[in-house]
Chain A
Amino acid sequence: MQGNGFKIFLAVFFLVLSGYYLYPSAQNYFIKQDLSSLDSEEAATYKRENFAKIRSVEEKALKLGLDLLGGMHVTLEVRVESLIRELASDTDDVFNDILRTATAQVETGDESIIDLFVQEFERRDPNARLSRYFRNESAGIKRSSSNEEVAAYLRTEANEAVTRAISIIRDRVDRYGVTEPSIQQQGTRRVIVELPGIDDPDRIRGLLKGTARLEFRLMVDPADNVRTLQRVIEFYETGVDSTASASDSTASASDSTLVAAADTTLDINDLLNTTEKKSGNALLDVMQPLGQGVTFGRVAEQDTAKVNQLMSDPRVTALFPRGVKYMYTSSPVGNTAEGREVYDLLGVRNEIELTGDVITDARVDFEQFSNTPEVTMTMNSEGSRTWARLTGANVGSNVAIVLDGVVYSYPNVLQRITGGRSNITNLANQAEAQDIVTVLKSGALPAPVEIVEESTVGPSLGAASIRAGLYSVMIGLLIVALFMIAYYRTSGIVADLALILNLVFIIGILAGFNATLTLPGIAGIVLTIGMAVDANVLIFERVREEQSTGKTLKASMEGGYSKALSAIFDSNITTFFVGVILYSFGIGPIQGFAVTLMAGILSSMFTAIVFTRIIMDYVVVEKKKTVSFG
């Protein structure tokens, strides 16, 4: 037994270490058990009294992945091209075209959009200076600044935008109230948000990607609105194929306008009365024209994309009143006969009179008479002044309150409003009001974010996965253990002990390294159960070979363990490398698999080489008993 002192020490040390790391997980389990046996009131009291303890146990316990726990995993990407567009001033067609090209290139490559943008700009005109778009005294970008300086400035702004976006999103999530959210930056432009136990993913999605741009805008002149409606309808009346490319149909389009103009008896009221759809007019097929006040038309939910396409045709936008664009209402204004929700399309002015920056406070209120929820906002003194001037100058007109590109309300101004108060009304429910307050208070995102990946798993599906995983682990363990005993007899029992110890180590390693157990991770554990016996199989087969040459049991063991070592080492290390690579390139659940694979390899090598040797030596050398290798 001499020389085994260190091995025993190591084995005990790792066992204690695993126990230390697994203890909080066990505690966590028992606390949850206790809690589920209490009624809700007692549970609440228990939680209050033991808050600190529960918190620290939860933090140290083995974490389950969202695929097991249920919850939402979202990867957000900050749209840097929007940021570039916003930082630029005096933009022209060339600028827009360059940015479009660069954005398209980003879709296919992995270079940064800023680099591509600068490259594309320099490719078109090597002598041109980017500084003409990005002049900014406070950032030190002057007319003479070099393109590198501008690129560096853009990069700084982009990084800052991501950092700010993370803190804003964290603030929003905290305000919403998610237990143990995780928000991390991935790469340069992405943010991973993990929210366990979410039951309302629609709401969260809105909270995460809402830029929270609050804008107050003046609206279209009603007379202009009707005229535009008439013209746009006429444009589509003559059956212009909206899908034809703009270049080859420009001529025919101008022709058709001429024809329509000559025969100008088309009356808006006739159109309004046309209840029959499929009129042959591309626009009227998908939109009910209104032309009343600032309302352009009424569009059913499923037709909005079609209408957007029709309304964005350059030949159509040319018909719009100067400085006006069209936006939808945030909430449906009614239903179609088939029960589809319909939205109004409203004309608003491009110019933004006032933004959400001036909002100092926001809260949910209830409208006095109807008791419907609304959001009351308070502005700072500068905002109040502008608001008073704006309302004062536009008594009798409408002011649109726009949040993230949709019009929430467009009240008619009755009188000059002093004191800097305003409301957002027409909200679906209190939750929506609460969410708006949340995003307004957290602040606007510096650049729009887009959800590029989302995985949401409901709690029951997660529970089913845990069950499936546990069954697989137990059945796999049982089958392999029985096989080992049947094949190797006594030494099979030793190998089985090692296998069980292995499981303890793997889970201990996961808990110790604060890794997350995912469903592929469990698959990794099951796989490890099958592969972990390999090292022991290698050793035992070697021992048998040694025995067959007539050596004593002790000598055979000696030879078997030492000769199998190089094969064990070589074969395991390559699989370990695969684990490392999977971990570096995979995301989420796959990393979980890689971690268990690596943990399994390390612990199976240790248990096979060190742990079983201790037992074997103890039985054979100390107790002078024989061990059967089957």
Chain B
Amino acid sequence: MRIFENSNYGFIASRKKGYIFSGILILISLISFAVNGLELGIDFKGGREFVVETTNPLDATLVRSALASVLTSDPEVKTYRVDGVDQLLVRTVGDEDIDVVRDQLIRGIAAAFPGSEPVIEKTYVVSARFAKDLERGAIYSVIGSLLVIFVYILIRFEWRFGVGAVGALFHDVIITLGVFSLLQGVIGFSLQIDQTIIAAFLTIVGYSLNDTVVVFDRIREYTGLFKSESYDSILNRSINNTLSRTIITSGTTLLVVGVLFIFGGEVLRGFAFALLIGIGIGTYSSIFVASPIVLELRNRATKR
């Protein structure tokens, strides 16, 4: 089986369309940041999260109002069913003693829904100060990753490629974050930004780069090989000749991430979702963003 065998699409010629498409997506993302913002998970905000198992399905709104009267703060309640077990996800803020809160939670649910036999299966508590540290760690790892990647590309390729690669990375991360910002609360699972999501984002960064570098590697090779050809056509040839690989690797990766999204359970759903979006966008950007940036930078240099 062969796909994109000897493909010869005019990617470079139609790069303007790519710019417009990317521009619109980035604009929507930025507007969404300004309007919706991003919802931080308790990793970075501090708070408590409980997973409560019950013997029968409960209504989230009713649980919420039942708990609001026993807890000191209004909790956030979600219900779902995993492996035939009904579960509640309860998030609260505050600094009361955790034993007291757990106790209030169990008694509150048991009193409001007799026979539901609530059991706390998971407790996750992050103090505000610890959340600050986690946030700092996340920021450091994001900045660190971008820096290391940029330096590596600089060493292995010329600087224009570094700019192209990092530009594509920002493109991917902004749009994926934009999707998170747009869909939060709309979609049936949590899109809060927590540590796992940061890990997903850095993986997207790594992956997007992986794709980009393969194209760059080909450009480097062809620049030496086809000296008489214009830079435009070298770029286009490189993208086309690596297209089949790009699509197949993205395909297999998207397949497994899709599997993770469907079968990986509630904990990994947001993570898998970020990867699905990010890898999709990353594949697009390695074709339509990274190499065109290199071309624009080079054109500007020759014009001068």
Contacts and interface: CB of A to CB of B under 8 A. Distances in A.
Interface of A: 67, 75, 77, 106-108, 110, 201-202, 205-206, 301, 305, 450-458, 460-461, 464-465, 467-469, 471-472, 475-476, 479-480, 483-484, 486-487, 519-520, 523, 526-527, 529-531, 533-534, 537-538, 541, 544-545, 548, 563, 566-567, 570-575, 577-579, 581-582, 584-587, 589-590, 593-594, 597, 630
Contact of A582 (B202, B254, B268): B202
B256 A566 contact: no
Residue from B96, B218, B251, B263 having most chain A Cβ neighbours under 10 A: B263
B175 interface: no
B137 interface: yes
A530 B276 CA distance: 12
A472 B259 contact: yes
Contact of B255 (A106, A479, A589): A479
Given A526-B257, A581-B148, 15 more contacts: A456-B122, A461-B53, A468-B265, A472-B263, A475-B259, A479-B259, A526-B264, A530-B254, A533-B252, A567-B213, A573-B152, A578-B206, A586-B137, A589-B196, A597-B206
Contacts of B35: none
B244 interface: yes
Given A455-B124, A523-B268, A472 B141 contact: no
A7 B274 CA distance: 38
Given A575-B206, A587-B195, A461 B141 contact: no
B187 interface: no
Given A471-B263, A575-B210, A581-B141, A450 B203 contact: no
B234 interface: no
Contacts of B133: 110
Contacts of B221: 563
B195 A571 contact: no
Interface of B: 1-2, 6, 51, 53, 82-83, 85, 96, 98-100, 102, 119-130, 132-134, 136-138, 140-141, 144-145, 148-149, 152-153, 156, 195-196, 198-199, 202-203, 205-207, 209-211, 213-214, 216-218, 221, 241-242, 244-245, 248-249, 251-257, 259-260, 263-265, 267-268, 271-272, 275
* Chain A to chain B: the 6 pairs with minimum beta-carbon distance, closest first: A530-B256, A575-B206, A468-B265, A530-B253, A458-B121, A585-B141
B248 A487 contact: yes
Given A458-B119, A541-B244, A571-B214, A527 B82 contact: no
Nearest to B111: A339
B145 A454 contact: no
- Per DSSP, chain A at the interface is helix
A464 B82 contact: yes
Contact of B199 (A205, A541, A548, A590): A590
A587 B98 contact: no
Contact of A578 (B140, B205, B260): B205
Contacts of B153: 574
Nearest to A456: B123
B285 to A, nearest CB: 15
A565 to B, nearest CB: 10
A608 B192 CA distance: 37
A565 B138 CA distance: 33
21 contacts: A67-B267, A205-B98, A301-B100, A458-B122, A461-B121, A472-B263, A520-B196, A527-B275, A530-B253, A538-B245, A541-B242, A567-B213, A570-B156, A571-B209, A578-B202, A579-B206, A582-B141, A582-B145, A584-B144, A586-B199, A589-B195
A567 B214 contact: yes
Contacts of A593: 196, 199
A472 B275 CA distance: 15
A571 B264 contact: no
B255 A530 contact: yes
B145 A305 contact: no
B66 to A, nearest CB: 15
B217 A577 contact: no
Nearest to B153: A574
Contacts of B259: 472, 475-476, 479, 526
B209 A575 contact: yes
B145 A577 contact: yes
B237 to A, nearest CB: 12
A530 B252 contact: yes
Contacts of A484: 252
A581 B145 CA distance: 6
B124 A454 contact: yes
A348 B273 CA distance: 58
Contacts of A537: 245, 248-249, 252
A584 B242 CA distance: 34
Given A567-B213, A575-B209, A630-B1, A526 B256 contact: yes
A122 B302 CA distance: 59
Contacts of A450: 127
Given A451-B98, A454-B98, A458-B122, A581 B263 contact: no
Contacts of B82: 464
Contact of A541 (B130, B140, B196, B245): B245
Contacts of B121: 457-458, 460-461
B287 to A, nearest CB: 15
Given A453-B126, A472-B263, A574-B209, A530 B271 contact: no
A484 B203 CA distance: 23
Contacts of A630: 1-2
Contacts of A597: 203, 206
A450 B98 CA distance: 12
Contacts of B100: 301
Given A454-B98, A472-B264, A584 B141 contact: yes
A605 to B, nearest CB: 12
Residue from B6, B127, B206 having most chain A Cβ neighbours under 10 A: B206
A606 B144 CA distance: 27
A469 B271 CA distance: 13
Contacts of A75: 130
Contact of A574 (B2, B213, B242, B252): B213
Given A479-B259, A530-B257, A578-B205, A465 B267 contact: yes
A533 B249 contact: yes
Contacts of B267: 67, 465, 519
Given A451-B98, A472-B259, A487 B1 contact: yes
A585 B43 CA distance: 14
B149 A574 contact: yes
A453 B131 CA distance: 9
Residue from B134, B136, B210 having most chain A Cβ neighbours under 10 A: B210
A531 B253 CA distance: 6
Contacts of B206: 574-575, 577-579, 597
A523 B119 contact: no
Contact of A452 (B83, B124, B129, B214): B129
A475 B196 CA distance: 22
A476 B268 contact: no
A533 B253 CA distance: 9
Residue from A106, A472, A520, A526 having most chain B Cβ neighbours under 10 A: A472
Nearest to B244: A541
Nearest to A630: B1
A290 to B, nearest CB: 24
A110 B133 CA distance: 8
Given A523-B271, A537-B248, A586-B195, A457 B122 contact: yes
A480 B260 CA distance: 13
Given A451-B98, A577-B152, A581-B148, A526 B123 contact: no
A477 to B, nearest CB: 8
Contacts of A77: 129-130
A453 B130 contact: yes
Contacts of B6: 548
